[in-house]
Chain A
Amino acid sequence: MKLSKKALLTAVLFAAGTGVVQAACGITSGRVSIVGNEFPAIKSVAAKAAECAGGKVTVKANLTADHQKINVAGMQGNPAEYTSAIIANSSIIALMNEGLIRPLDDLVKQHGQSLSPSQLIKIDGKVMAVAFMANAQHLIYRKDILEKAGIPIPTTYEDMLAGAKVIRDKGLMQYPLSGAYKSGWNLAQEFINMYIGYDGDFYKPGTAEVSINNAKGVKTLETLKALTQYMNPDFLTHDSNAAAAEWEAGKVAMMNFWGSRTAVLQDDKGSTKEVYSNTLVSGPLTVGGGNTPATTLWWDGFTVAKNISDEDAVATFKALVNGVSPSLLNDKTMPEAVWMISGYKPAPVAAGVFATIKAGATPYPMRPYHGLLHTALGDNLSDYLQGKESAQQALSDIEAAYTAAAKEKGFLKR
């Protein structure tokens, strides 16, 4: 008797509880399935969106560093496997090119009152994504090592190279620099950052023809090579996670690193006090005496798939709006990113991204064929960095690889 009364009470409370959660998100039914990258900020957003689950609402999240390999294929089915992709300004292009995401203007009007206008990403006048954080690569440094070496905080890559030489000569560190230089997407990103710092143009104006085989391209390659001389020789296999591991092991003094991944380096897990308490952020670096910072600005945001039912689309939008609502911000999530959410108080770690925005950095190029150049760069830069070919040969290989891919995909005439 007692047992069944308890069971009944539990069941009633559970049902009531579920009802309360549903009322908070305002979704009655629908399937929400998110795909995105796996750094801390996105994990927090997905976890907050998952709070809307219950009853007839299901929320799943597949967060992986390989999200760009699966999101296009995952959203092409009808119905799409993923109802939302959390993307950045570069990865939204692939979804746009294949027509996989739906305009959000109606959804924003009906359910997006808590969003601010600057969060809405408009392409050709239609809202295609809702941004919730800004990101950029900027300098991070070890305060204690720089002090011991007696060098100032670098503001240019030339300063960084000079400082690295001093640190090595003084015997403080053998490989004072690091970065995500893994052959492929990461290495290509470093090239793009540096080339922008040299004020280079990627394409002939008004066309999809690539034009990086010039003096600025050569200077970009030479600067990258000079930096790698001060890195762990395995740099071509080190992505952001490996570079972070190197940093936490206390082997690196300076690197150009993602703001969204820096909070991890400053917490007390995985490294000694000497390392994490001396890890500080600075602004972006310029190069070659230019004014444009050698970095790119990124926003991360969520999209809603096209090939899903309207019911799922509404559920997805509402769940993700909940995921980026002001209640997301607490002591743990505040330093994870530069949030574009009201109530965001910049933590010291966010100063790097803010400085990058203030310094007038350019957003990552959003052209539909830029992904092909990014891939061509990623595949062909490692030979030059290993000293196997000249800079001109590397640049001409990159241009040839891009041209072949662009011709195949129909961006250039055959």
Chain B
Amino acid sequence: MLAMLLFIALPIASVITQSVFIPHEQVIVEVENCGPFGCEKSTAIDQEATNKLRQTQPLGRFAGADIYFDRAHLAINEVTEAWRESSGIVEFTGRLNNLPFYGALAFTLTYTAIVTPLSIGLGFLIALAVNALPRVIRGPTIFFSLLPMIITPLIGALILFWMVDARGVLGAGIQALFNDPDLSLKASTPLTWLMLVVYGIWSSAPFAFVVYYAGLQTVSQDSIEAAMLDGASRWERIRYVVIPHLLPLTTFMALIKIMDNFRVFEPIVSFNAGAHAQSLSYFIYSDLGGETRLLSSAAATSVLTICGVAVLLSPVIVRTWRNFGKRS
């Protein structure tokens, strides 16, 4: 209980607090800067006045929900303007996509919606296939199936980044395959999204495979034999015996995967795909790091991410609640 309070409740409370405060107004003074190329008149921040302000009000100015509604987040003003001025739903969606938060949300939701079911499905298929192998080669096969997950995500993605470059092995191969010398995965947005989704499926399938493989060992042989006696084909056995048995595991996998995929971040950094695909986590990272350090903006995006995960998980949590409620 104490750990939950310390590591979950307090940090969330802290992030919410930081998201409603913004830095004080800067006190600017005119200064002269002299360097190797001569002197010029410029401006600088008055450190003494700023320190005084910070001592009296350390949290900053109270901004309420301003940060949430500003252009970099929910963009209430820009959205209403787009709604009024757009001639149709297509144009409205286009203008919405232009706003940073909604563009990032579009990619994040697309990534989550495609990668989650496909990686679970692929993991299940691999588990079935490995389960059917003779014991002798099962060990090495399991090892190779786990490799995409064992490799540090950043390194794996970086290797792929160079292979997929227009002059790398995969990039040149794809160009030769489609006979199009201008084709480049990194240069077009839909193809970059495709590349990130494929990478996501490939690197998270092993986790589903491991969980399903363990689950397959618990399928009762009696049910399988009974089904075989009834004349069920292999596919029918899987569909009517194995899959229902693994349903609780599937719910568990979906929960974990939705949470993980909504926070997609490493592929975007390793593939240098920031120009084509942004995600909410990527926004938090760019706000936090670097010279600008928009901390309130990062805090607001964090809170919005938490809300997004809660919204996405609500069906799964409701179903789990119902299942366990039924049993107890």
Q: Do A and B come from one complex?
A: yes
Give chain A's interface residues, CB within 8 Å of chain B.
Answer: 66, 68-70, 72, 89-91, 93-94, 96-97, 99, 118-125, 131, 134, 174, 182-184, 208, 232-237, 239, 249, 251, 297, 299, 340, 357, 363, 365-369, 371-372, 374-375, 379, 382-383, 386, 388-389, 393, 397, 400-401, 403-405, 407-411, 413-414
Q: Other CB < 8 Å A-B pairs besides A389-B98, A401-B72, 16 of them?
A: A94-B293, A131-B35, A235-B187, A236-B187, A237-B161, A239-B272, A367-B43, A371-B291, A382-B275, A382-B276, A397-B98, A400-B78, A409-B26, A410-B25, A411-B26, A411-B28
Inside 8 A of B23's CB, which chain A residues have their CB? 408-410
6 A-B pairs within 8 Å (CB atoms) are namely: A72-B293, A184-B274, A235-B187, A299-B35, A397-B98, A409-B294
Given the complex of chains A and B, what is the CA–CA distance between A182 and B161 in angstroms?
Answer: 14
CB-based contact A299/B42 at 8 Å: no
Min CB gap B232→A, angstroms: 51
Inside 8 A of B294's CB, which chain A residues have their CB? 405, 408-409
CB-based contact A124/B51 at 8 Å: no
Give chain B's interface residues, CB within 8 Å of chain A.
Answer: 22-26, 28-29, 31-37, 40, 42-45, 47, 50-51, 61, 63, 66-67, 70-72, 78, 98, 100, 161, 165-167, 181-182, 184, 186-187, 189, 271-276, 286, 289-294, 296-297
Inside 8 A of B293's CB, which chain A residues have their CB? 72, 94
Residue of B31, B66, B184 near A234 (CB, 8 A) is B184
CB-based contact A368/B36 at 8 Å: no
Inside 8 A of A94's CB, which chain B residues have their CB? 291-293
CB-based contact A297/B72 at 8 Å: no
CB-based contact A297/B34 at 8 Å: no
CB-based contact B26/A410 at 8 Å: yes
Inside 8 A of B34's CB, which chain A residues have their CB? 120-122
CB-based contact A233/B184 at 8 Å: yes
Q: Evaluate whether A404 and B43 lie within 8 angstroms (CB atoms) in the complex, with A99-B50, A363-B35 already known.
A: no
Given the complex of chains A and B, what is the CA–CA distance between A91 and B290 in angstroms?
Answer: 10
Count of A-B contacts judged by CB separation below 8 Å: 159
Min CB gap B73→A, angstroms: 9
Given the complex of chains A and B, what is the CA–CA distance between A208 and B30 in angstroms?
Answer: 13
Given the complex of chains A and B, what is the CA–CA distance between A94 and B44 in angstroms?
Answer: 11
Given the complex of chains A and B, what is the CA–CA distance between A275 and B50 in angstroms?
Answer: 53
Inside 8 A of A367's CB, which chain B residues have their CB? 42-43
Residue of B25, B37, B161, B165 near A299 (CB, 8 A) is B37
Most chain A CB within a 10 A radius of its CB, from B28, B36, B63, B66: B36
Min CB gap B63→A, angstroms: 8
Residue in B closest to A127 when the chains form the complex, CB atoms: B34
Q: Evaluate whether A233 and B45 lie within 8 angstroms (CB atoms) in the complex, with A340-B36, A408-B296 already known.
A: no
Residue of B78, B167, B290 near A249 (CB, 8 A) is B167
Residue in B closest to A187 when the chains form the complex, CB atoms: B275
Inside 8 A of A184's CB, which chain B residues have their CB? 274
CB-based contact B37/A123 at 8 Å: no
CB-based contact A405/B37 at 8 Å: no
Inside 8 A of A413's CB, which chain B residues have their CB? 25
Residue of B22, B165, B181, B290 near A410 (CB, 8 A) is B22
Given the complex of chains A and B, what is the CA–CA distance between A365 and B296 in angstroms?
Answer: 26
Residue in A closest to B103 when the chains form the complex, CB atoms: A383
Residue of B184, B272, B289 near A69 (CB, 8 A) is B289
Inside 8 A of A120's CB, which chain B residues have their CB? 34
Residue of A121, A236, A340, A368 near B275 (CB, 8 A) is A236
Inside 8 A of B29's CB, which chain A residues have their CB? 124
A-B pairs, top 3 by smallest CB distance, nearest first, are A183-B275, A382-B275, A233-B187
